[in-house]
Amino acid sequence: MLLKCIPLFFLAQLLIAAAKPTNPHLFNSDDPLQRELERQAKEETVHLLDSLFRSQIAYFSEVKAALNPQTKRSQDISLYITRLNQAIAEKDMDKKDQMWLDTFEEFKDSPLLLNRESETGLTDSQYKTLLTGQKLQDISTKFVTDVADYFWQIAKISGKVVGNGISSGNQS
């Protein structure tokens, strides 16, 4: 299960990178429908990012609850959760994205999922059991479902964008 969790966090990085259009001028249109579809796509992306942050908060809150609050890992997790809550509170997608990237950078060297007995107060076996509990599996499963829902919504919006582009092209 631990090996299943780590890729989820890397998947999150890829999703955030993919969510930002590489050429925002492609969507610059005077067409109200195109602007509305772009707004919907951004709204879906913000929803996914917030879901990702909430999943990580839930996951690490479960881990933290089992740790002695005086341990370094518990304190690291508290700071990480604070950063994620700040990202959820941000409404602007670009700022939210930057906050996530900054948080990822800040914590990339902090082994939140790895055990160092001096930082967790737990043996390797105890920490592994903690990281792979049923609640944590449920949180991971929900995140995968949220990602699938996101791609479905974006596919529907993309279909409307293409359909609108074809309709607009036929009118010219």
Domain-embedded: residue 172:
no
Could you tell me if 153 and 48 are in contact, meaning their C-beta atoms sit under 8 angstroms apart? no
In this structure, what token pair is assigned to residue 27? 């969507």
Question: Model-level pTM?
Answer: 0.71
Residue 91 φ then ψ, to 5°: -95, -30
Q: Where in the sequence is the domain holding 95, given as residue range(s)?
A: 43-163
- Mean pLDDT of all residues in 77-101: 90
pLDDT for position 160: 75
Domain-embedded: residue 4:
no
- pLDDT greater than 80 at residue 40: yes
- pLDDT greater than 60 at residue 172: no
Max mean pLDDT range (17-21, 32-36, 101-105):
101-105
pLDDT for position 171: 58
- pLDDT greater than 60 at residue 57: yes
Domain-embedded: residue 170:
no
* CA–CA distance, 31 with 154 (Å, rounded to integer): 19
Three-state SS string across the chain, please?
CHHHHHHHHHHHHHHHHHHCCCCHHHHCCCCHHHHHHHHHHHHHHHHHHHHHHHHHHHHHHHHHHCCCCCCHHHHHHHHHHHHHHHHHHCCCHHHHHHHHHHHHHHHCCCCCCCCCHHHHCCCHHHHHHHHCCHHHHHHHHHHHHHHHHHHHHHHHHHHHHHHHHHHHHHHC
In this structure, what token pair is assigned to residue 154? 């974006």
Domain-embedded: residue 146:
yes
Domain count, the chain: 1
Domain-embedded: residue 154:
yes
- pLDDT greater than 60 at residue 106: yes
